[in-house]
A and B are shown apart, each in its own frame.
Chain A
Amino acid sequence: MTESDFLTSAPPASAQQGADAAPYLVVEDLTVRFPTADGVVQAVTGLNYTLKQGKTLGIVGESGSGKSVSSMAIMGLHDPKRTDMSGSIRVGGREVIGLSNNQMQTLRGGEVAMIFQDPLTSLHPFYSIGDQIAEAYRAHNKVSKAQAKAKAVDMLDRVGIPQARNRVDDYPHQFSGGMRQRAMIAMSLSNDPKLLIADEPTTALDVTVQAQILDLLQELQRDFDSAIIIITHDLGVVAEMADEVLVMYAGRGVEHGPTRELLTHPEMPYTWGLLSSVPDVTASTESRLLPIPGNPPSLLNPPTGCPYHPRCAHRDKVPGDLCRTELPELIPGRRGPAHLKRCHLANPDMIYETEVLPEIAPDLVELVTEESLEDTSDPRHPGSPENADQIDTPQRRAPDPDGEVK
């Protein structure tokens, strides 16, 4: 999918039918803390989101912002002895926080499956690919080993491994990086999960392979009608895959909304930072790559007030010392109820258009400005996709902004 495709292509068929169905996944006020020798790591604090069948949520943020921790909580992958969890996670209507390990087993790999960042370390080096897929299948289906093996061949074929029958007995080290991730996907889809969590599925892969894997995920989502959570720090991936985006910072959601709306009208300075740190390979040379200065805060001792304030270039625009003293709520701004942001700024749109956009993508300023004028003249359709279709945003799949590439 090219960049302009994502803006022009029709929404997936499931988008309409799922519109009023109950969400498959509900995360409410999720808080995850790890008591350690150095203190309590506040990995995730008060996180909320919902996800419907057939939909994709993109979670973005620098590394250490709590993306993996919050998603692993859905599968109960945190050791209860070392983790304090509160809030609620309901999968298909069932509360999973507090479930015992045994009760969790039917969910894990069954209704909810996960793909991890590095397929090489995520596959067991001593067992063949086929055995590992068959094991996942047999964990949830009463079938013979031979049937499970046949299923493994089937799944490998399905995810595009050539000559699956011959490759099924290969070991992970005999596969290329992209093939290993395909095998991971085959494994996670072997039980037709209703929810697939892909934790940076392409970060460890090179660019062309990344595109193939993302295409594969989309294709499989259409076939299986699963909900997908795609975790990434690459806004290009989000633009291509996600219906909705949740931006996380220091363990909290800081901006949340429909993908096009959020990417074209970001309202939170941290999101601006993420956008400006995405290298745009096709845009004019005037556009600049601006990494966010400073480092993500320590979650042992997060900053007071807005967690982003130590790095925020716009905190002076907020009257008083509010940024430092008071945590902003994650609430709708001026762009309609679906777009939430956690920031004290009163007029983020204007700042974005006049200060941020000219820095990161000068050639876009005009378009966006025009559009936002339209928007204010027609408040009933805030950030409507029709308007967004005309503009080009500076997203692209590219090396990670925070250099987490292995």
Chain B
Amino acid sequence: MFGYILRRLVSGILVLVTVSAATFALFFYGPSDPALAYCPETRCTPERLAAISDQLGLDRPVVEQYGDYMKGIVAGDDFQAGAISIACDAPCLGVSFKLRLNVTDYLWGRFPATLSLAIGGAAIFLALGLTLGVSAARRRGTFSDKAIVSSSLVINAVPYYLLALLAYLYLISEWSIFPASGYYSPFSAGPYAWVKGMLLAWIMLGLVYSTQYARFSRGSMIESLNEDYVRTARAKGLSERRVTLKHALRAAIVPVVTIFGLDFALLLAGTIFTERIFSIQGIGLTALDAIGTKDLPIISATVILGATFIVVANILVDVVYSLVDPRVRL
């Protein structure tokens, strides 16, 4: 198990190196000069452009810049930008071109909003999705099963951003049922304000994801309800509740855990639409803004962060698998 995790970590690091190199390459070899973004359009002389490039360090060879970047992640770095010096301890993800801020600290400050969004949303879609899926599976073929499946398909067919936008327009702007958005209050400042600020985003995220979880867990549950061991459980004289929960659901939940691990990692990497529409200052919105301003250090950092979550989630899913299923040995 230990050796397995170690091997997975090593290959995970290789993935991260590749991902960050690809981001760098896209940035530098992409269609436009990154320094242009910082050069005022009307007065952008070649000299000025060169100065900006020099100041941002963009004129150095790409490989050297990449090397520095990697070194900063492992060992930390200090940045001199004109008169100001910015300390950046490992893992140093660079200094924002535009904001002149230590990117690690900056993202760290943005992360709680995204984490809150992910936890609340996941709690809703897991609870809702599993409940609907399991009850649909138990009533397979009946009216309530069909109602659950078809309403989930309908909700899924509407693009998410449209649903979220409509919710914003009506529930916040028009009818003021929910507080004006852009309001994230950290949990430490009181759970009530925290919930109030996030509730609508949670509901939207939870609702849309729950449709997939309902259908997925329904399928998985139908399969496990047909298993011989569920028949054995029933033949033992167990209550229907125990048969469903302890025997069928226990097996049906395993594949759900797998996709949940990856979905949750993606949520932690930032939910761009949700954060944008409800103006939640999280990782997703940060990444979106950084792409607009061609702020390489922030873009790279959000990409590496997202990739890290996915790599870690993959490992965790495998570990959980081996804990749930005694046949799996790592």
Contact = CB atoms under 8 A, between A and B. Distances in A.
Interface string B141-180: 1100000000000000000000000000000000000000
Q: Which among B141, B324, B326, B327 has the greatest number of chain A C-beta atoms within 10 A?
A: B326
Q: What DSSP secondary structure best describes chain A's contact surface?
A: mixed
Interface in A172-189: 173, 184, 187
Interface string B309-330: 0000000000000001111000
Interface string A244-273: 000000000000000000000000000000
Given A122-B228, A124-B247, A187 B236 contact: yes
Contacts of B325: 125-126
A374 to B, nearest CB: 46
Contacts of A110: 237
B237 A108 contact: yes
A216 B251 CA distance: 32
Given A116-B228, A171-B326, A173-B327, A124 B235 contact: no
Contacts of A82: 141
Contacts of B41: none
B238 A139 contact: yes
B321 to A, nearest CB: 11
B298 to A, nearest CB: 45
Contacts of B247: 124
Interface stretch (A9-17, A84-92, A99-107, A282-290): A99-107
A123 B235 contact: no
B229 A109 contact: no
Interface in A31-76: 75
B241 to A, nearest CB: 11
Contacts of A128: 326
A27 B117 CA distance: 61
B228 to A, nearest CB: 4
A117 to B, nearest CB: 8
Nearest to A137: B236
Contact of B229 (A105, A106, A124, A173): A124
Q: What DSSP secondary structure best describes chain B's contact surface?
A: helix
Contacts of B326: 125-126, 128, 171, 173
A140 B236 CA distance: 9
Contact of B228 (A75, A81, A121, A173): A121
Nearest to A110: B237
Interface string B210-244: 00000000000000000111011111111110000
A239 interface: no
B250 interface: yes
A124 B239 contact: no
A135 interface: yes
Contacts of A125: 229, 251, 325-327
A110 B324 CA distance: 30
Contacts of A136: 236-237
Interface in A118-147: 118, 121-126, 128, 135-136, 139-140
A114 B235 contact: yes
Contact of B233 (A113, A121, A124): A124
Given A124-B247, A125-B327, A116 B231 contact: yes
Contacts of A22: none
Contacts of B239: 102, 105
A77 interface: yes
A139 B235 contact: no
Interface string B260-277: 000000000000000000
Nearest to A140: B237
Interface string B122-154: 000000000000000000011000000000000
Nearest to B324: A126
Contact of B235 (A81, A109, A140, A173): A109
Nearest to B230: A124
A381 to B, nearest CB: 42
30 contacts: A77-B234, A77-B235, A101-B240, A105-B237, A106-B237, A108-B235, A108-B236, A108-B237, A109-B235, A109-B236, A116-B228, A116-B231, A121-B229, A122-B228, A122-B231, A123-B229, A124-B232, A124-B247, A124-B250, A125-B251, A125-B325, A126-B250, A126-B251, A126-B325, A128-B326, A136-B236, A139-B236, A139-B237, A173-B326, A184-B232
Given A108-B236, A126-B326, 17 more contacts: A75-B235, A77-B231, A77-B234, A81-B142, A105-B238, A108-B235, A116-B228, A116-B231, A122-B231, A125-B327, A126-B250, A126-B251, A126-B324, A135-B236, A135-B238, A171-B326, A184-B232
